[in-house]
Structure 1
Amino acid sequence: MTIRYGGPGVRIAGDGLVLREWERGDLAAMSELFDDPEVAYWTPLRAPFDLAAAEAYYDAAHTDNGRLHLAITTDGEKPLGEVMVNQKTSSLGYAVGPAHRGQGLAVRALALLTGYAHEVLELPRLILEIEPDNQASISVAKRTGYTLTDLPPTKLMDKGRDLVLLTWEHLAPTR
């Protein structure tokens, strides 16, 4: 994993991926990636995810809110999805655009961001919150080394839907 600081922001490269901060020129790509029924169903992202939603999301991602949103790319340019970490809650999330699924992008990107969060952000325990019937996301969590905790499920409502979220964790390696 290589990490670059300064310049245009955080850039993490490894395993055939380059994770980089979103740029204003990515708004149309964001809309294309996130305006998808699967993304709308499994994530808190707004639906429909049009250009106005992309601009609002971009603006929120570039505030000092303790979150780091990174575009998943293979070339440092074209976004294929996103991984994010909330430093206040040590929670991570990810979404891959429909045309780019099935390539292991989420697993590789989550692994890179997990390493970064442990090593650079010094977060000892990272979490994912996943619905029990989201098999694709559970597979990503397992393949990335996250394990299901015995914490009680988190129950909430989002977009008029009752959610039950199970907590998965990844602990920093001991030194």
Structure 2
Amino acid sequence: MSRTTSPFPERMELSSEGLVLRDWTEADLPSMPELFDHPDIAYWTPVVSPFDEAAARARLDRARQLRAEGTTVLLAITTDGGAPLGEVMLRRAPEGTEIGYAIGPAHRGQGLAARAVRVMAAYAFEQLDTEQVILELEAENAPSVAVATKAGFRLLDIPLITGEEKGRPYALQTWALDRPRPSGGAMATDTDS
């Protein structure tokens, strides 16, 4: 029986941009409902609602399973490695490397989402050799559009991703951030100018 090797380490902690993105732990279970049990998160994300202690346990177990399978990593967003303020996700799929996030209502307006997205994108570029990361979001979700813009993503001119979640139709735009090109050295030039 062959076993798949996960591209993600068993334990993760990423520190940059004034943030520490770290693994969720059992100690975080009591604080997860206060972060995720909110109408905005229920409306804009696939996170279950209502989000109670049982949902927190299920999310932690699912996060560990997805990491072991090598498809997805979910990390708590913190400023110091302590109390979680939200979550950032990196998912590898055949259609691309996607980032997602949710910030607890009490912690919004601090630039946490854009910073966490940039840290996770840097990890994907540097450690997973990803060429492009994407965000999928609804045009009507103005705070997420602002995060995408602030994090340096550009809206792709591709068809919307449509579907239904929790009985509500959605149409997702795809925003992308390309792997930074090294500066210096030989550069391609346009000889037709």
Shared fold per TM-score greater than 0.5: yes
1:29 deviation in Å?
Answer: 1.1
Q: 2:17 matched to which residue of 1?
A: 15
Where does the alignment leave 5 or more consecutive residues of structure 1 unmatched?
none
- Cα deviation, 1:83-137, whole Å, max 9, x if unaligned, reads 0100224011001000000011111111111111111111111111010100000
SS state at 1:164 partner: strand
Pick from 106, 109, 114 the counterpart of residue 99 of structure 1. Answer: 106
Selected match of 1:68 from 66, 70, 73: 73
RMSD (Å) for aligned C-alpha atoms: 1.3
- Is 1:152 paired with 2:159? yes
Q: Which runs of 5+ in 2 are unaligned?
A: 1-7, 183-193
Q: Alignment partner of 1:62: what SS? A: helix
What is the match of residue 135 of structure 1?
142
Once the 2 structures are TM-superposed, how far is the Cα of residue 157 of structure 1 from its aligned partner?
Answer: 0.3
1:83 matched residue in structure 2: 88
Shift in Å at residue 174 of structure 1? Answer: 2.3
Mapped to 1, the partners of 2:85 and 2:120 lie a distance apart of: 15
Matches within 5 A, 1:33-52: 33-52=35-54
The alpha carbon displacement at 1:50 in A equals 0.4
User: Counterpart amino acid of 1:56?
Assistant: A
Provide the C-alpha distance between the structure 2 equivalents of 1:150 and 1:67, rounded to a whole number of angstroms: 26
Residue 136 of structure 2 aligns to a residue whose secondary structure is: strand
Larger radius of gyration: 2
Query: Helix, strand or coil: the match of 2:114?
Result: helix
Number of aligned residues:
170
- Aligned mates of 2:151, 2:115 — CA distance in 1: 8
CA shift, 1:149, in A, is 0.2
Letter in 2 for 1:16: G
Q: Distance in 1 between matches of 2:128 and 2:83?
A: 26
Q: TM-score if structure 1 supplies the norm length? A: 0.93
Distance 1:168 1:70 in 2: 21
